[in-house]
Copies of this chain bind each other. A is one copy, B any other.
Amino acid sequence: MTEPLTRLQTRLAEITDLSYVSHLLEWDQQTMMPPGGGLGRAEALATIRRLSHERFTDPETGSWLDEAQNSLDGSPFDSDAASLVRVARRRWEKALRVPSALAAEQARAASLGQEAWIKARADSDFAAFAPYLERNLELARRYVDCFEDFDCAYDVLLDDYEPGVRTDTVSRLFAELKSELMALVATLSERSESVDASCLHGRFAVEPQRALARRVVELMGFDAAEWRMDTAVHPFETSFGTHDVRIATRWDQTYWPTGLYGAMHECGHGLYEAGVAPALDRSPIGRPDSLGLHESQSRLWENMVGRGRPFATVLAPLAAELLGGELSSLRAQALYCAVNRIQPSFIRVEADEATYSLHVILRFELEQDLIEGRVSVSDLPEAWNARFKAYLGLDVPDDAHGVLQDVHWSMGSFGYFPTYALGNLIAGQLWERAHRDLPRLDDRISAGELSPLRAWLREHVHRHGAKFSMPELLERVVGGPIAVTPFLSYLKAKLSGVYGVSL
Give A contacts to B, CB under 8 Å: 13-14, 17-18, 20-21, 24-25, 28, 32-37, 39-41, 43-44, 47-48, 51, 55, 223-228, 240-241, 243-244, 281-282
Contact = CB atoms under 8 A, between A and B. Distances in A.
A41 B240 contact: yes
A217 to B, nearest CB: 14
B21 A25 contact: yes
B43 A227 contact: no
A85 to B, nearest CB: 21
26 contacts: A13-B47, A17-B43, A17-B47, A18-B51, A20-B40, A20-B44, A21-B21, A21-B44, A24-B44, A32-B32, A33-B244, A34-B225, A34-B227, A34-B243, A36-B223, A36-B225, A36-B226, A36-B244, A37-B226, A37-B240, A37-B244, A40-B240, A40-B281, A40-B282, A44-B240, A51-B55
Given A36-B226, A44-B240, 19 more contacts: A13-B47, A14-B47, A17-B48, A21-B21, A21-B25, A28-B28, A32-B32, A32-B228, A34-B226, A34-B243, A34-B244, A36-B243, A37-B240, A37-B244, A40-B241, A40-B244, A40-B281, A40-B282, A51-B51
Contact of A25 (B13, B24, B227, B243): B24
Given A241-B37, A243-B37, A44 B32 contact: no
A240 B111 CA distance: 15
A418 to B, nearest CB: 31
Contacts of A48: 17, 21
A21 B55 CA distance: 17
A49 B13 CA distance: 14
Number of chain copies forming the complex: 2
Contacts of A44: 17, 20-21, 24, 240
A474 to B, nearest CB: 30
Contacts of A17: 43-44, 47-48
A228 B43 contact: no
A375 to B, nearest CB: 36
A241 B227 CA distance: 28
A34 B282 contact: no
A40 B286 CA distance: 12
A17 B25 CA distance: 12
A35 to B, nearest CB: 5
Given A17-B48, A32-B228, A282 B43 contact: yes
A282 B43 CA distance: 9
Contacts of A224: 34
A37 B27 CA distance: 15
A231 B20 CA distance: 24
A461 B338 CA distance: 62
A244 B43 contact: no
A243 to B, nearest CB: 4
A425 B369 CA distance: 67
In the A-B complex, list the 9 residue pairs whose CB atoms are closest, starting with the nearest.
Answer: A37-B244, A36-B226, A40-B241, A36-B243, A17-B47, A17-B44, A20-B44, A34-B226, A36-B225
A203 B321 CA distance: 31
A33 B330 CA distance: 37
A24 B34 contact: no
Nearest to A14: B47
A192 to B, nearest CB: 43
Contacts of A18: 47, 51
Contacts of A20: 40, 44
A243 B44 CA distance: 14
A241 B240 CA distance: 24
B28 A24 contact: yes
Task: Choose among A13, A40, A51, A223 the residue with the greatest number of B CB atoms under 10 Å from its CB.
Answer: A40
Contacts of A34: 224-228, 243-244
Contacts of A225: 34-36
Contacts of A32: 32, 228
